[in-house]
Every structure is written in structure tokens, then in C-alpha cells.
Amino acid sequence: QINLKESGPTLVKPTQTLTLTCTFSGFSFTTSGVTVAWVRQPPGKALEWLALLYWDDDRHYNPSLEARLTITKDTAKRQVVLTMTNMDPVDTARYFCAYRPPGGGNAFHVWGQGTVVTVSS
Amino acid sequence: SYVLTQSPSVSVAPGQTATITCGGNNIGGKAVHWYQQKSGQAPVLVILYDNERPSGIPDRFSGSNSGNTATLTITRVEVGDEADYYCQVWDGRGNHPVFGGGTPLTVL
């Protein structure tokens, strides 16, 4: 069974850097075709894709946020980490990590429960 | 960047059929996936590849995709189907997912 769980601070101050961790189980990042994404959802708003990390370490970022984002993985710890710099109140959102399996099309089959981040001084 | 436009809101009575649309330029040429997101929860994949149901999704959920519109249909709607529904495709040019703006389904 595949599971993902996000963790990180619930409150950050403007201009600070946010670091979120997605801890997963049930799959290996060494398997060809595995992809993990970070997606966020501001209160009352739609889902917004942030970053993708592929099994081969290829990375893609939302162009509108690319300068602020970094996605990495620690295969041994079974974690995917997202950092976002220069946080602003508009970045207040629930942040999800999601799993796209090999051969599963370009759909995210399993999502974490999400973690709520509030940006406020 | 590719844009998906969803119907703003849908309301149906229990037992009726709900239809949620997702518009995009020649979306019929893309694979469309649908997610259900209940209040305060994570999205759940309910349809992939236009009309395939993942394991555990009831056959009341179905999809279609042609031309510029993809459609999610929920028959025999239940109170428990009340949620926001999102369509998603893959932008091949930018190599990233694109989500629609979401459609709230209200079960009266």
C-alpha cells in the first residue's frame, strides 16, 4: 500500500524559507517512471502544481514560482523535500505531495493528507 | 500554457445524474483525469484516461472526452458524492500537470 505524508511548519513569517517534507512508503524512487509532485491549494481555491521530481532526478517547476522552489529527494530516508524561499502571505495554503506511478498515465494516483502552512508575521 | 475551464457549480438531488464539464483547446486529444476532493480532505482520483475507474471507485462514475470538452458523469448521486471535482491533463509542451479550476457539486 502506498502512502505519503507531508510535514513541516504550520506558521512561517514573511520572507522566511519554507521547508516541507513528504515521507513515503510502498514504492521506491529507484523504480523507473516514478514521479512525485508537490501541489498546493490556497483556502477556497483550486489546486496549483508546484514541482515535479522524477525517478532519474529530473525536475520541473511551475514557471511562475521556479525562482523560489527547490525539490530534492533522499532515497534512503524515503523523502521528497520542497523548499520555497521568500514566503509571502499569498503562499498560505494546504500543501500536498502526490504520487504518479510508472505506467499510470499522467495522473496522480495517491495523495498525502496535506499540510497547512500559514504565512503571517 | 494550457488552460482548463470547468463548469462553475453543479447542484442535483439525490438519485439524479450530475454532469461536470472541463473545457480545453482540443482536449479530446489529451488524456483527462478527474479527482474528487471532499471538504478538508486530499483529492482522490476517480477517473483516469478519460473514462477508466481506479480500483474502488463505483461504476456510478464515468467520463467522456471529445472535441473541446471532457465530461464527468455521476449517476444515482448520493449525499456522499458532495465534493469539489477537478479535471487534470498533462501539458506536453511544458511537461507538467494542469488542473482545472474545480467544480463544487452540491447534493440538495
Quick: pLDDT tens for A7-47.
999 999 999 999 999 999 999 988 999 999 999 999 999 99
pLDDT of residue A117 exceeding 80: yes
Distance between CA A107 and CA A49 in Å, rounded? 12
pLDDT surpassing 90 at residue A90: yes
Residues of A at the B interface, defined by Cβ within 8 angstroms:
37, 39, 46-49, 52, 60, 62-63, 96, 98, 104-109, 111-114
Query: Cβ–Cβ of B42/A96 closer than 8 Å?
Result: yes
Beta bridge pairs of residue B86? B35
pLDDT in tens, A54-73: 999 999 999 999 999 999 99
Contact (CB, 8 A) for B46 and B80: no
What is the C-alpha to C-alpha distance for residues A10 and A93, in angstroms, rounded to an integer?
Answer: 10
Taking the CB of residue A94, how many other CB atoms lie within 10 A of it? Answer: 18
Contact B45 A107 (CB under 8 A): yes
Mean pLDDT (whole number) for B18-37: 97
Cβ-proximal residues to B103 (8 Å cutoff; 6+ apart), any chain: B6, B7, B8, B9, B10, B20, B21, B84, B85, B86
Alpha-carbon span A19 to A83, nearest angstrom? 4
Beta bridge partners of A25: A3
Quick check: A56 and A74 in contact, CB under 8 A? no
What's residue A104's pLDDT?
77
